[in-house]
Chains A and B, each alone.
Chain A
Amino acid sequence: MIGTQVHRFDVVIVGGGGAGLMAALQTSGQANVAVLSKLYPSRSHTGAAQGGIGAALGNLEEDHWEWHMFDTVKGSDYLADQDAVEIMCRDAIDTVYELEHNGLPFNRTPDGKIDQRRFGGHTRNFGEAPVRRACYAADRTGHMILQTLYQQCIKRQVTFFNEFHVLDLIIADGRAAGVVAWNIQSGGLHIFHAKAVIIATGGFGRIFKVTSNALAGTGDGVALALRRGIPLEDMEFYQFHPTGMYRLGVLITEGARGEGGFLLNGKGERFMERYAPTLKDLAPRDIISRCMHTEIREGRGINGEDYLYLDLRHLGREVIETKLPDITEFVRVYFGLDPVTDLIPVQPTAHYAMGGIPTDLDGRVVLDEQNTPLPGLYAAGECACVSVHGANRLGTNSLVDIIVFGRRAGRDALRYIQTADLPPLPRDAADEARAEIEHFLSGEGSEPVAVVREDLRTTMMDLASIVRTEQGLTECLSRIHQLRERYRRTRPMDRGQVFNTDLLETIEVGYMIDLSEALVVSALARTESRGAHYREDFPERNDQEWLKHTLAYRRNGKFELRYKPVRITRFEPKARVY
């Protein structure tokens, strides 16, 4: 019999990465707050971010948040909501200073200011030339941000529930009422009854076979929102980062190209000069990934195979070892190569979800085209879609996103709980979660869940990744339905209570299947190409019909798509050339 414990808080935050911790810092000391993580917070994937956090400080050259905003909107292929982008780019500046005041060890200029470097898609004067906007800490900016935020949470004595895996959202009378979670260390269900819930569970790159994402990146919060009737926005827009280490998925930061590195094909040609004459290897990621895909498909991969080379040799040992130490180590440890003397094998790698749980500018989860909020429910970070990244995200903007909107969500949740009362806890709050656990802990399994999972990942990589067609997506959807049937018949081998990660990995595959389906359904419907979503059968951007956000609902197992307008304020959509 699975026990259930009930805890009561004002605010429950699910996810201990940058967005979750930022939200926690806003609320700590002023409300009864708990942060749940299925890991320890310092293990969160924020820590893997390398290149930098974008903010128009202007420490090395003139810069303005308006330029950052333009770059972001253009980079989004004009799908981003511009009022949200404005807030993000404005707030980025003070937020970066605040991080520094909290101890973040940024690299420094000779006169002691935060150092900044070039990054893909970031320009001065509305696209004139690359600008040094990425504030960085060696090539482990994410690690430093995560550590600094975690340190601040310790200082303020934030309450953590580590190794608690979220299994369900509790919505009662149309309001958020808490979450249901599984205690990984000892087993058992825990209900966290709360006035407000902030979902900050990150992305879902694991649905693709080749990904930069941690094994934990299975999109738990996003899938739960979908299951609870909340639409998912812009799921078809999934970014592939150009330079993942071949077959490993480990990323070589875009910062390497920011320092001057470039890509070569099998003919030794610096091919990005052909595709993007101005920005070349610093063009936005979706463009470079597509170009790489084309080079490989047209037989110009290295030795005709499915990878290309990243050339850093000309940067010199000094620059490589001081500015890119972590990626130097990756390449040495995993490939036995030295970036100082060798070319690095790379391939486009599933990296970032532009879409997710729709929110307004204050992180409140919204339910429809009118942005009607669901009281008490919030989302921030990669799991959310505000939308600041639209159809494609610029490098360094994810770290800005999580900090700015994690903070805003935390602030609004604090405001909300002052007047909201604790909603009644439904008697059956944990029933579905319990039923799911009991389903998987009993009976015989038909095949290892790992086989179903790997089939899903291969299917998504082959049919729904960088280049999509109607035929491919339709086939993909059909396979997903079959995979779901197979999935329900799998069982974990481990039937115990203590640290049963077999059970939890099985639950995660269910989330992955749901998110894959939402992505493919959305992609099938969008008969245009925009940003990271490329349809070979509809290769042009079509603002006339498609300048809008997708909202994917799932009701009774069936998907329904609706659309909402893009909010345009300063920058009229133009052709996106670099």
Chain B
Amino acid sequence: MARANARRVVTLEIQRFNPEIDSAPHQQSFQVEADPSDRVLDLLNRIKWFQDGTLAFRRSCGQGICGSDAMCINGRNRLACKVLVKNLGEHISVRPLPGFRVIKDLVVDLRPFFQHYIEVMPYLINDERPPATERLQSPEERARYDDTTKCILCAACTGACPPFWANGRFIGPAALVNAHRFIFDSRDRGRAERLAILNQRFGAWGCRDVGNCTEACPRGIQIQDAIDQCKRAILAELT
């Protein structure tokens, strides 16, 4: 696989904030060499390892499955390990996910995010005695909620959501995705309970159908559609 292009130099403008030193965030520019196959994560690592070790960001799997490195790259929330540098041009801006308190540089406080996730009871509820083997579920029933099983809790969606920015009490798209995953799982018996939780001002009704969430999702989940299904389910339950 011969390299079509040679290494080139790109400029990363990164939002920095060190709570031990800074009173406010500020921008810092770095020049860094990029291979054609590099992702933004590769550039961040190169900067951290060879230019400025104080640059802080979360990362782990490097392959878009763990959800650690969600951040705002050129104005869009994405996973740094999935964004190819060659698709971005020579000036790349990197900021932490909007809507969350910054701990340091690109690391944000995700406790509110996980708190909202916990609020929707994101676990199977079924107190019926299970069979000795598996509970049956048809392929059609399985397909019903397949999309929302893909969520990796990266927070790109919630961090892209204007209603969430406006009021952090809104549980946000990710929590709704995970509620959907159980509401539409034929094995779950917590439907009424969960729909009651969603049927609140800052539950599903906090969603204003902006649609940024779907655009931001690195897993391609049709989030807005899933939320709309939840809203319809609430209404059906009420009538």
Contact = CB atoms under 8 A, between A and B. Distances in A.
Contacts, number: 165
Interface in A78-129: 96-97, 100-103, 105-114
B66 A502 contact: no
A293 interface: no
B142 A250 contact: no
Given A100-B134, A108-B137, A496 B124 contact: no
Contact of B1 (A246, A493, A499, A502): A246
Given A105-B142, A448-B50, A496-B20, A42 B67 contact: yes
Interface string B161-195: 00000000000000000000010010110000000
A140 interface: yes
Contacts of B20: 496-498
A330 interface: yes
B1 A307 contact: yes
A502 B135 contact: no
B88 interface: no
Contact of B104 (A39, A305, A499): A499
Given A43-B68, A108-B138, A103 B1 contact: no
Given A97-B132, A216-B60, A502 B53 contact: yes
B63 interface: yes
Q: What's the interface size class on A, roughly?
A: 35 or more
A109 B146 CA distance: 15
A96 B67 CA distance: 26
A501 interface: yes
Contacts of B152: 42, 47, 143
B19 interface: yes
Given A43-B61, A246-B1, A110 B139 contact: yes
A334 B35 CA distance: 13
A101 B135 contact: yes
Contact of A305 (B1, B57, B136): B1
Interface in B106-122: 107, 110, 114, 118, 121-122
Nearest to A96: B134
Nearest to B145: A105
Contacts of B182: 103
Contacts of B151: 147
A359 B232 CA distance: 52
B122 A151 contact: yes
Contacts of A102: 123-124
Contact of A105 (B103, B110, B121, B185): B185
A101 B130 contact: yes
B115 to A, nearest CB: 11
A493 B53 contact: yes
Contact of A496 (B18, B110, B134): B18
B56 to A, nearest CB: 5
B149 interface: yes
A47 B53 CA distance: 28
Given A102-B124, A216-B60, A143 B65 contact: yes
Contacts of B110: 40
A44 B141 CA distance: 29
A155 B63 CA distance: 29
Nearest to B52: A493
B137 to A, nearest CB: 5
Nearest to A100: B134
Interface string A147-180: 1100110110000000000000000000000000
A239 to B, nearest CB: 18
A322 to B, nearest CB: 10
10 cross-chain pairs, A with B, having the tightest CB-CB distances, nearest first: A493-B53, A103-B124, A450-B49, A112-B136, A502-B53, A151-B123, A155-B123, A494-B54, A43-B66, A499-B104
13 contacts: A39-B58, A39-B66, A40-B114, A42-B152, A103-B187, A105-B142, A108-B138, A137-B149, A246-B1, A494-B56, A496-B21, A501-B48, A502-B54
Interface of B: 1, 18-21, 37, 48-50, 52-54, 56-68, 82, 84, 103-105, 107, 110, 114, 118, 121-124, 126, 130, 132-139, 141-142, 145-146, 149-153, 182, 185, 187-188, 220
Given A40-B153, A147-B151, A502-B48, 7 more contacts: A39-B68, A103-B187, A105-B145, A111-B136, A214-B61, A215-B61, A501-B56
